[in-house]
Amino acid sequence: MKDNSQEILKAEKTIKELKKKYFISKSVFLAVSIFLILASAFNGLLSAYAIVKNNQIIPLWIFVSIAFINAIIAFLLAISALCNFDKKKDANKEKIMFLIQKEKELKENPKLVDRDKLINDLATIDLDE
């Protein structure tokens, strides 16, 4: 019985760490996305102001091209951030669901759980990934 409680505590600790990483990655994703939106909007406003205040055609085209390039870069960065954080979120969510399932199995039928397989499964989970 003592071994089961240690295994349950280890599983609960791992679940807490994974949930913490999940929420951190979600918060970072939201912060980066909001920053990208604000930076793009601010740059767009500055470019629009420069275009309005400039009477010459060559600087006008330079400001328009800078605004266009900035919009493309901001869009690509947002897509890149979304893909990276989405993959990380899914991986952490999978780990959490796996550990919750193992914890449930341990609590329901501790005698039916193969301890060697459980220890091996818990040891193979990479928390730093």
- Would you say 123 and 93 are in contact if contact means Cβ atoms under 8 Å apart? no
Predicted pLDDT at 129: 56
Q: What is the pLDDT of residues 113-124, one digit of tens each?
A: 777 777 777 777
Distance CA 30, CA 47 (A): 26
The helix or strand, by DSSP H or E, that contains position 8, with its residue range, turns out to be helix 2-53
- Would you say 33 and 82 are in contact if contact means Cβ atoms under 8 Å apart? yes
| The residue type at 10 | K
Q: What is the pLDDT of residues 5-52, one digit of tens each?
A: 777 788 788 888 888 887 887 788 778 778 877 877 787 777 777 777
Q: What is the mean pLDDT of residues 78-88?
A: 74
| The residue type at 110 | P
- Would you say 4 and 89 are in contact if contact means Cβ atoms under 8 Å apart? no
> What residue has token string 């040891």?
123
